[in-house]
């Protein structure tokens, strides 16, 4: 986990720079693909995922080293061949994991966050799950284990494989000629994120597009069918923590409400979107019927609130970078506390973006509690070791959070919670 945390010290700034470049380019060519609150929500989602993964939160059904120990038939040495085999095995497993997430009700919950943005840009790539608490991915790496691919090779390639999926979440790159037949491109991934009937559940590959072509899930981007983005059951919130568990909550309610005992069991493993007939009739859920006419989610937001949302996501990113830099010194218990502050913070300021009244209580309480921790310990998880008055600056951040929570709830003029595009 410490190695992963160190890698994030370089990956996060790199992603943020690319995001900034895309935003500036969109502004210069007058074709902006970012909306402030949506992008803040996307980046915040990525931060929650990073915290969850860096702390190793979740239950792993079986680890890859265990499979390797018991299934290996060959013993491959660390040459270019084993790296190629490992890459192909990871990409093949990624395709089927992705396909499961799109096809099975229970698994869709861990992936819906990635599709929840109604925009498509590099920030959207950061919408990653915190609800994937059941680690089963190593089961899909059985072919690699049988061939004896070393665990160290998998451990190095897996995050690289994930990070390499970032770049193609953009609308500013068109079709790429012969590469369209080899790798996943922005054009192909626009299709994947689209809710048009022609595009649903297509292009499930992660790096190579050959799996889609072989297994019948490939669809090229059509000029006459412009992609429309989001999910058919809109999230209708900027809060990534809520989005992560929306679908699961719906499944739980449907399983409880249905009178059919068999439906209570099979709902979890039925195709994505399936609901028991009696529940579907009695408790209908709005679904987008016309993908070209639906109203995108938005909340009233003054320029001050938009600026404050950007301020919060930048401060949260800075605090996380410090956490990764000081990962070992903070210790596991400290990391859990630090992670809790980040999670509550993201829940608080994205709820404020949603303009819900209870957000003020989250912001005031976390602001007071943050200041109290600094007052009691005289530090903020060791930040004074690296920066003079570091804890004082963090305390100032918490005071701003507290004050802004009150201001944007009671004093800012745009208080209505209506769906408007921003």
Q: How far is CA 170 from CA 18, 244, 422, in A?
A: 11, 23, 19
pLDDT at 60: 80
pLDDT at 135: 84
pLDDT at 422: 39
pLDDT at 420: 40
Question: At a CB cut-off of 8 Å and minimum separation 6, what does 273 contact?
Answer: 105, 108, 232, 233
pLDDT at 3: 66
Q: How far is CA 122 from CA 40, 163, 169, in A?
A: 12, 12, 5
Q: How far, in whole angstroms, is CA 384 from its chain's centroid?
A: 31
266, 248 in Cβ contact below 8 A?
no
Q: How far, in whole angstroms, is CA 30 from its chain's centroid?
A: 27
Q: What is the pLDDT along the chain (422 residues), one digit of tens a residue?
A: 556 667 777 888 999 999 999 999 999 999 999 999 999 999 999 999 999 988 877 778 788 999 999 999 887 776 888 999 999 999 999 999 999 999 999 999 999 999 999 999 999 999 999 998 888 899 999 999 999 999 999 999 998 999 999 999 999 999 999 999 999 999 999 999 999 999 999 999 999 999 999 999 999 999 999 999 999 999 999 999 999 999 999 999 999 999 999 999 999 999 999 999 999 999 999 999 999 999 999 999 999 999 999 999 999 999 999 999 998 899 888 999 999 999 999 999 999 999 999 999 999 999 999 999 999 999 999 999 999 899 999 999 999 999 999 999 999 865 544 444 33
Per the DSSP assignment, residues forming a β-bridge with 83 are none
């Amino acid at each position: 986990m410490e190695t992963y945390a160190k890698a994030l010290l370089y990956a996060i700034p790199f992603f943020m720079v690319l995001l900034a470049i895309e935003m500036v380019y969109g502004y210069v060519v007058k074709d902006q693909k970012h909306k402030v609150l949506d992008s803040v929500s996307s980046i915040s989602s990525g931060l929650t995922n990073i915290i969850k993964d860096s702390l190793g939160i979740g239950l792993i059904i079986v680890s890859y080293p265990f499979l390797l120990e018991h299934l290996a038939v060959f013993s491959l040495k660390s040459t270019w061949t084993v790296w190629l085999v490992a890459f192909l095995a990871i990409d093949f497993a990624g395709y089927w994991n992705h396909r499961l997430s799109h096809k099975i009700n229970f698994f869709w919950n861990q992936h819906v966050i990635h599709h929840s943005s109604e925009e498509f840009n590099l920030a959207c790539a950061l919408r990653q799950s915190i609800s994937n608490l059941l680690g089963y991915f190593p089961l899909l790496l059985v072919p690699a284990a049988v061939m004896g691919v070393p665990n160290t090779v998998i451990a190095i390639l897996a995050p690289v494989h994930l990070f390499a999926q970032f770049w193609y979440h953009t609308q500013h790159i068109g079709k790429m000629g012969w590469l369209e037949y080899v790798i996943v491109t922005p054009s192909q991934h626009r299709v994947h994120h689209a809710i048009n009937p022609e595009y649903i559940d297509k292009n499930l590959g992660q790096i190579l597009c050959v799996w889609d072509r072989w297994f019948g899930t490939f669809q090229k981007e059509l000029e006459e069918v412009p992609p429309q983005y989001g999910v058919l059951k809109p999230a209708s919130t900027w809060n990534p923590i809520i989005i992560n568990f929306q679908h699961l909550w719906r499944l739980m309610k449907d399983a409880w409400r249905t009178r059919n005992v068999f439906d209570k069991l099979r709902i979890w493993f039925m195709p994505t979107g399936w609901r028991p007939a009696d529940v579907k009739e009695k408790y209908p859920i709005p679904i987008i019927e016309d993908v070209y006419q639906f109203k995108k989610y938005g909340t009233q937001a003054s320029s001050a609130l938009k600026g404050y949302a950007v301020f919060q996501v930048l401060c949260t990113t800075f605090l996380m970078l410090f956490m990764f830099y000081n990962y070992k010194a903070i210790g596991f218990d400290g990391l859990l506390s630090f992670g809790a502050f980040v999670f509550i913070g993201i829940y608080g300021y994205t709820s404020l973006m949603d303009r819900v009244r209870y957000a003020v209580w989250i912001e005031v309480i976390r602001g007071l509690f943050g200041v109290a921790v600094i007052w009691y310990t005289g530090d903020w998880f060791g930040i004074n070791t690296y920066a003079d008055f570091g804890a004082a600056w963090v305390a100032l951040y918490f005071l701003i959070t507290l004050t802004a929570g009150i201001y944007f709830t009671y004093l800012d003029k745009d208080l209505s919670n209506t769906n408007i595009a921003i």
